[in-house]
């Protein structure tokens, strides 16, 4: 077969691939950019409340941490480390979202932080945005503690004990989780590739605690995104997995009331031909007569 024949066979496939790519990019543009902009035009600046709070919170804690006394209080309020007790880490985790990491530039991450919370709030709403941001951050913190507890080894999954002294703060895990969650539920492969691919490259290039937590945030956001829209199905599955109560007698259903039956009528004995039987007394009230009754005292 000539080269022109090969080209003729490849042209339909290339055309289909181009149409598929165009539809995907157009759908992703509308899902990630156009729809949130429409929501912003309808809701106004109130739709960016979480984005402003997140950005201003990071700026506020960054300015406070520039002073010695402020740095101590920032660490006490939002400083999370793996060597801290679990209850204290859980208590500080919400505040740690606004405490910038020490080894990352603050002003460079403000734009990503604002954009992630703005798109998520306009697309998901405030409650779900906060839930995804907190769950992905908490997942990274808890799994990192588990990796440090396991120790080095385990096919590279464990971490040395020295990582337990590293300050684990910053909104980067929440930003990564929000972008990943949006890309999954909105079917945005470009955003997903940029987010997840950059995290994989970061963990390979700089194998530190933050890179591991970012990968965990990506994985937890993917799971949350796949579970999106299956609330009723999950609720039904959870109810079916609950143990049934055993050993306790099941109350029987109340029996239906029986239909009233007619009173039994005693059989009337047959009269012999040679004897006469007096008629029984009437069951009617006094003063009433039915047929031939017994004579009263006035009739005698």
Whether the per-residue pLDDT at 246 is higher than 90: the answer is no
In this prediction, residues 105-125 reach a mean pLDDT of 86
What is the Cα 92 distance to its own chain's centre? 23
Whether the per-residue pLDDT at 212 is higher than 60: the answer is yes
What value does the mean pLDDT of the chain take? Answer: 77
CA dist 63 → 77, 249, 265, 289 (Å): 15, 66, 102, 112
What's the structural domain count of the chain? 1
Q: Where are the beta strands (DSSP E) in the chain?
A: none
- The residues, ordered by sequence, that sit 6+ positions from 185 with a Cβ below 8 Å of its Cβ are 225, 228, 229
Lookup: tokens for 225: 């995104």
What is the Cα 134 distance to its own chain's centre? 12
The answer to the question of residue 4 being in a domain is: no
The answer to the question of residue 289 being in a domain is: no
Lookup: tokens for 232: 């009723």
What is the pLDDT, as a whole number, of residue 205? Answer: 78
Lookup: tokens for 23: 């539809």
What is the pLDDT, as a whole number, of residue 134? Answer: 93
The answer to the question of residue 236 being in a domain is: no
Classify residue 50 by burial, with Cβ atoms within 10 Å: 0-12, 13-18, 19+.
Answer: buried
Give, as one character, the DSSP assignment of residue 246: -
144 closest CA partner among 103, 105, 173: 173
Q: What is the pLDDT confidence band of residue 299, given thresholds at 50, 70 and 90?
A: very low
Q: How far apart are CA 268 and CA 256, in angstroms?
A: 35
91: phi then psi, degrees, rounded to nearest 5? -70, -35
The answer to the question of residue 237 being in a domain is: no
Whether the per-residue pLDDT at 249 is higher than 60: the answer is no
pLDDT in tens, 182-208: 999 988 888 898 888 888 887 777 777
Q: What is the dihedral of CA 100, 106, 107, 113, to 10 degrees?
A: -40
142 closest CA partner among 205, 90, 103, 79: 90
CA dist 28 → 99, 111, 120, 225 (Å): 32, 21, 15, 16
Q: How far apart are CA 46 and CA 49, in angstroms?
A: 5
pTM of the full structure: 0.72
Give, as one character, the DSSP assignment of residue 154: T
**Long-range interactions of 262-265: CB distance < 8 A, separation 24+:** none
- The residues, ordered by sequence, that sit 6+ positions from 52 with a Cβ below 8 Å of its Cβ are 114
Q: What is the pLDDT confidence band of residue 288, given thresholds at 50, 70 and 90?
A: very low
Q: Cα–Cα–Cα angle for 173, 91, 165, nearest 5°?
A: 65
- The residues, ordered by sequence, that sit 6+ positions from 182 with a Cβ below 8 Å of its Cβ are 32, 119, 120, 123, 124, 188, 191
The answer to the question of residue 249 being in a domain is: no
pLDDT in tens, 44-99: 888 899 999 999 999 999 889 888 898 899 989 998 888 889 999 899 999 998 88
- Residue 61: CATH number of its domain: 1.20.1540.10
Domain residues for the domain of 123 are: 13-229
In this prediction, residues 142-165 reach a mean pLDDT of 82
Give, as one character, the DSSP assignment of residue 40: H
Q: How far apart are CA 264 and CA 233, in angstroms?
A: 59
Q: What is the pLDDT confidence band of residue 129, given thresholds at 50, 70 and 90?
A: very high
96: phi then psi, degrees, rounded to nearest 5? -65, -20
The answer to the question of residue 160 being in a domain is: yes
Q: What is the pLDDT confidence band of residue 233, given thresholds at 50, 70 and 90?
A: low
């Amino acid at each position: 077969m000539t080269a022109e024949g090969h080209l003729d066979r490849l042209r339909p496939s290339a055309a289909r691939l181009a149409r598929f790519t165009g539809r995907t990019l157009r759908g992703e543009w509308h899902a990630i950019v156009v729809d949130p902009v429409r929501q912003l035009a309808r809701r106004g600046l109130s739709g960016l409340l979480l984005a402003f709070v997140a950005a201003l919170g990071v700026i506020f804690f960054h300015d406070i941490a520039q002073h010695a006394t402020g740095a101590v209080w920032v660490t006490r309020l939002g400083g999370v480390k793996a060597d801290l007790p679990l209850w204290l880490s859980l208590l500080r985790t919400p505040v740690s979202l606004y405490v910038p990491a020490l080894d990352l530039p603050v002003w460079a991450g403000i734009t990503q932080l604002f954009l992630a919370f703005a798109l998520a709030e306009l697309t998901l709403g405030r409650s779900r945005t906060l839930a995804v941001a907190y769950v992905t951050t908490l997942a990274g913190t808890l799994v990192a503690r588990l990796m440090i507890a396991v120790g080095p080894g385990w096919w590279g999954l464990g971490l040395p004990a020295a990582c337990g002294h590293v300050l684990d703060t910053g909104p980067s895990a929440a930003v990564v989780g929000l972008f990943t969650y949006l890309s999954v539920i909105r079917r945005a492969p470009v955003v997903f590739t940029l987010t997840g691919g950059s995290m994989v490259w970061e963990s390979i290039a700089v194998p530190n605690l933050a890179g591991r937590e970012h990968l965990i945030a990506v994985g937890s956001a993917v799971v949350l995104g796949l579970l999106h829209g299956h609330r009723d199905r999950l609720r039904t599955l959870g109810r079916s997995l609950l143990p049934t109560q055993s050993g306790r007698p099941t109350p029987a259903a109340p029996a239906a009331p029986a239909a009233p039956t007619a009173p039994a009528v005693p059989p009337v004995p047959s009269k012999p031909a040679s004897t006469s039987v007096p008629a029984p007394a009437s069951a009617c009230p006094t003063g009433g007569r039915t047929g031939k009754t017994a004579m009263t005292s006035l009739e005698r």
